[in-house]
Structure 1
Amino acid sequence: MDRAVTAAPWDWDAHARAAGARSDGTFNAATMRLPEQRAVIWRRADGTATAYSAAQLRRRAGEMAAVLAELGVGRGDRVAGLIGRRPASFCAALATWWLGAVYVPLFTGFGGDGLRVRLADSGPKVVFTDAASRDGLGAVREGLPAFEVIVVGGPAGDGDLALDAVLARPRTAPAIVDTGLHDPSTIMYTSGTTGRPKGCLIPHAAIVSLLPYVRHCLAVGPGDVLFSGADAGWSFGLFTTGLAPMSQGVSRVMYEGPFSTPGWWACVREQGATHVAAAPTAFRQLATGGAELVPAEFTAATSAGEPLDEPTVRWFQEHAGVVVHDSYGLSELGMVTGNLREPPYPPVAPGSMGVALPGFEVALLDERGNPVSGEATGRVAVRDNGFFLSRGYWGRQAEWDARVVDGWFRTEDLARRDEQGRFWYVGRADDMIVTAGYNVGPNEVETALLDHPLVVDAACVGEADPVKGQVVAAHVVLGAPAPDDLLAELRRWVGERIGWHAAPRRVHVRPQLPRTASGKVQRHLLRAGDAGAVGR
């Protein structure tokens, strides 16, 4: 096996030209092609649904661009979007790019410091928001640089502009600004599992960067209908399952409102969505609703954002006849590995994050930064192909440059490569548990625990031990009352499946696990300690 795994040949420049890039390298993402009929299908919280065509989205984006221009927004200025799951989130992005400005998506679940830090760092001139998010925005506004607020889909507060009222007077869309394919279009902040979130600088080429994923992992095309549970405040919702597949003729279903298993499945059935893309946490919740709710329209599924556990894959295979294809990526890189949907790639192995996507070269590095070959475990590194999803960090370029060594972007993630070239997520480098001289990856233990009938959710961290240095500590959410011998039961369960070196020696029972807004477990909070652990 080569020390780096390279996928099938992929002509990035040819795909960029097909997306609309000119021979001189100019391309503005606001000009991307969208499905002519049902570009976005908005399923509201009240159960009603409206489809919007490419012409409708583009007309509204042009009107919003005209309003932004009147407010003095121009090339390089930042415009933020704090908008729930509604088509306006896509229009706000297109309107910003229209002017050569930089869009800053903000997740509506943010409040307090989570919102304040991102606004202070990006310094937007204008913030688009909706009525549901307006109060949260107002609560953090004091002390921040001044910005205009435009409220979409509702009345404005004092000093704000209501978009509907402003657009009562017809406006002519300005000319679309010429931008370079690799010029910044978006500042996408990382979810911030630890430390201050970094603003990834995403260029106008974002939809090109994600084409290998759209073509080979999602495997969707013109006429397909994709249901995505991802919020457009994150790259997976705005780009990966949003504008990138939409640019290939795929209709995108947006589901407004809180998660609901019956609601999601009803929306899939009503809109004829054959493909569901979501985080593994959502698929686990869908499975708990039972097979009787799964609609016949559902024929394909793709997950990302956190490791997909084998029990969830098996449930969908057995009860829905659908193989959930897991994938791996970062806001910095885009999607770089996945379980692909056609030969000669190996078949899906439940729990694997797949193989290198076309156009990407993925390596595993040892502790000294040297590539390892064959079946091995190491830090994931990806060779710069000129089309990473991001090209740097906003205001923190030195941190980006430190992660790129000899043309390889070094991630913080550890993975194992098997004999067929598949990658298996092990954990973050700083999550590795070293116990009695053994390296234990938390994901492998978590997967085993999730297969136990009592365990609904699980995460593992290392805890200090005077004899072993560290021991494996399992934090679990249970679906039934804990038995007296819970620790012994879970130790036996993991020991028989993985090995006794990996069996947890402490167990913490929790009502829920701390996760970021995008679903990632916040292990640093678990490592802070927990009263009531069962251990030995």
Structure 2
Amino acid sequence: MVKLTDLSSYADAQAHASSAALWDLFDGDRDVLNIAHECITRHADGSGRAAVRIAHADGRDEILSFDLIAAGAARFAHWLDAEGVQPGERIAFMLEPSLPFYVCLFGAMQTGAISVPLFTLFGPDALKLRIDDCKPSILVTNAEKAELARGAVTAENALRVIVADEGLLDEIAKFPATYAPKTKAGDLAVFQYTSGTTRELPEAVKHTHKALVTLMFAALYGTGIRPRNASGEGDEFFCPSSPAWGHGLWHGTLAPLGLGVTTGTFAGRFDPVRLMKALDDYGITNMSAAATHYRMMKNSGAAGDYAFHFRKLSYTGEPIDPATLEWIDETFRVPVCSMYGTTEIGVVLVNYPGAADFTVKPGSLGKAVPGQKLEVQRPDGTPTAPGEIGELMLWRGGGWMTTKDRAKIDDEGYFYHCGRADDVIISAGWTMSAVEIENTMLRHDNVLECGVIGVPDEKRGQVVKAFVVANRAGDDGFVKELQDFTRERLAQHEFPRIVEFVDELPKNPAGKVHRKMLRDREAAKAAEAVG
């Protein structure tokens, strides 16, 4: 059977990609498989080859080998056994990328326990909601977050908080550096919380060990990752997204490591200049990032200070605005490829990075991964015509399921994102897209970031309100300038009637502007005014 990692063209993907071909990439089978073994242990050959490069916000570079992580994970697995942890128990981690993070993540999965990565910037409410939901027996965090973590401990959950420091590494050092995994392919491996606000609990998506196999569709055709071949050709990969988010964990960590590819990540408060220095220093040829990461690099104005080596670029989470797309083309001279999916359904639309026979259309979501069927439908369930906006539907389990996204297709079958279903604004009978208005405003030289929502209005039902982060002071003249700028480029009715200048916009762990939080804030202010 041909090995999928030896192929790169779109035609080959359609001809050869199959479930059997994906399983052929791994040691495990449909009965017995373990993510930690596939991603770390089988690549630990004593050579000291790098598994993860970590660019710390403070300027430090940290390189962790497959050998180092494999030994530490085995010791942590033995430690969990000694502590009486049973298969199926949840072990939560609130850690930045670091040796303790990878040791704990992979060590827990070897024992049959379920790893639960948690975002390090969660506040007490967000953390407690997740702890109460998944009920972990142990929460591993750092000294800085220990007090916050202990605040989530109650008599009901009996949570143990463990500080991941040198003391923990010293404690597990007495255990053997090898471990025999205890899992079946269908055993649960990871609970992944989708992006959400601090005041509401998003659903935990439960992944089995065999999810690593289907993940390879995204790795091969969404990010285009390829290991080094006999000729020495292959990727130097980087993903700056937090591993507490699906993109950072699955696409940025497990996918490349599962193929034996060295991955890179970012630790600490995100800094676009620090990222660009790491991309230069590490000689990164393939990066997958959030739209916000690209936008922040553009806004830094510092890209000219660094050399870039990209052959493949991808993004996910939200569309990239046209101004940033133009900047990427001019700066990196490589087409950036959208990768569309959710934590719940996985990646289903891709642009096949590295495929010479696939045309990447700017702003497009691309086409379906092999074996997936998608359609844009009208409210009555019939397919839309090219250019007509409808609801993006996925064929799954013998029927159509909604993605809760609006989309359109073109004459060649490429899909385009047209916003979330709840981001549609209807004002005086006009239907407007928050995404379209944001993208237009972001073309203005003085607009750095923008979030658009609909707010109640007695006369029109709703009007458009824009929250703007700008590089100049906001005043009435600037408001009118932005309104005219938008109206001239869209339609006479399609502009923000209200503009509020802010220092920053709320974002979820994915780096996306959190429009729901903006809507909730406006609703709270309206309720307070009435009260």
The equivalent of 2:72 in structure 1 is 60
8 Å contact kept, 2:242–2:509: no
Distance 1:526 1:256 in 2: 27
Against the structure 1 CA distance between its residues 266 and 120, is the aligned structure 2 distance closer, same or farther, given a 3 Å change threshold? Answer: same
Q: Which moved more, 1:450-459 or 1:29-38?
A: 29-38
Distance 1:370 1:125 in 2: 49
The equivalent of 1:191 in structure 2 is 195
The equivalent of 1:400 in structure 2 is none
Distance 1:168 1:217 in 2: 39
- Alignment pair present for 1:13 and 2:17: no
8 Å contact kept, 1:119–1:144: no
Percent identical among aligned pairs is 29
8 Å contact kept, 1:277–1:301: yes
Give the structure, 1 or 2, with the largest relative contact order (CA under 8 Å, sep 6 or more).
1
8 Å contact kept, 1:127–1:149: yes
Q: Which runs of 5+ in 2 are unaligned?
A: 1-12, 229-234, 527-531
8 Å contact kept, 1:228–1:276: yes
Against the structure 1 CA distance between its residues 376 and 114, is the aligned structure 2 distance closer, same or farther, given a 3 Å change threshold? Answer: same
The equivalent of 2:529 in structure 1 is none
Aligned-pair CA distance for 1:257: 2.4
* Aligned match for 1:519, one of 504, 511, 514: 511
Distance 2:472 2:299 in 1: 14
Against the structure 1 CA distance between its residues 408 and 64, is the aligned structure 2 distance closer, same or farther, given a 3 Å change threshold? Answer: farther
The equivalent of 1:529 in structure 2 is 522
- Alignment pair present for 1:245 and 2:256: yes
Against the structure 1 CA distance between its residues 287 and 76, is the aligned structure 2 distance closer, same or farther, given a 3 Å change threshold? Answer: same
TM-score, reference length from structure 2:
0.87
* Aligned match for 2:35, one of 16, 19, 29: 29
Distance 2:156 2:328 in 1: 47
Instruction: Output the amino acid matched with 1:421.
Output: G
Against the structure 1 CA distance between its residues 476 and 45, is the aligned structure 2 distance closer, same or farther, given a 3 Å change threshold? Answer: closer
Matches within 5 A, 1:17-416: 17-22=24-29, 24-34=30-40, 37-143=49-155, 145-154=157-166, 162-171=167-176, 173-180=178-185, 182-193=186-197, 195-223=200-228, 224-290=235-301, 291-341=303-353, 342-349=355-362, 351-384=363-396, 406-416=398-408
Matches within 5 A, 1:429-444: 429-444=421-436
Distance 1:112 1:460 in 2: 28
Distance 2:440 2:58 in 1: 39
- Alignment pair present for 1:448 and 2:440: yes
8 Å contact kept, 1:416–1:424: yes
Aligned-pair CA distance for 1:210: 2.2
8 Å contact kept, 2:191–2:206: yes
Distance 2:125 2:26 in 1: 38
Aligned-pair CA distance for 1:307: 1.9
8 Å contact kept, 1:325–1:338: yes
8 Å contact kept, 2:298–2:327: yes
Instruction: Output the amino acid matched with 1:200.
Output: V
Aligned-pair CA distance for 1:151: 2.3
Against the structure 1 CA distance between its residues 433 and 209, is the aligned structure 2 distance closer, same or farther, given a 3 Å change threshold? Answer: same
Q: Which runs of 5+ in 1 are unaligned?
A: 1-6, 155-161, 386-405
8 Å contact kept, 1:40–1:87: no
8 Å contact kept, 2:112–2:187: no
Q: Which moved more, 1:470-479 or 1:107-116?
A: 470-479
CA offsets 1:89-111 (integer angstroms, 9 cap, x no match): 23322212211221111111112
Instruction: Output the amino acid matched with 2:242.
Output: D
Against the structure 1 CA distance between its residues 367 and 87, is the aligned structure 2 distance closer, same or farther, given a 3 Å change threshold? Answer: farther
Distance 2:25 2:311 in 1: 29
Distance 1:45 1:512 in 2: 20
> SS of the residue aligned with 1:376?
coil
Distance 2:426 2:357 in 1: 37
TM-score, reference length from structure 1:
0.86
Against the structure 1 CA distance between its residues 465 and 44, is the aligned structure 2 distance closer, same or farther, given a 3 Å change threshold? Answer: closer
> SS of the residue aligned with 1:529?
helix
CA offsets 1:485-517 (integer angstroms, 9 cap, x no match): 334322322223222232222222222111113
8 Å contact kept, 2:78–2:175: no
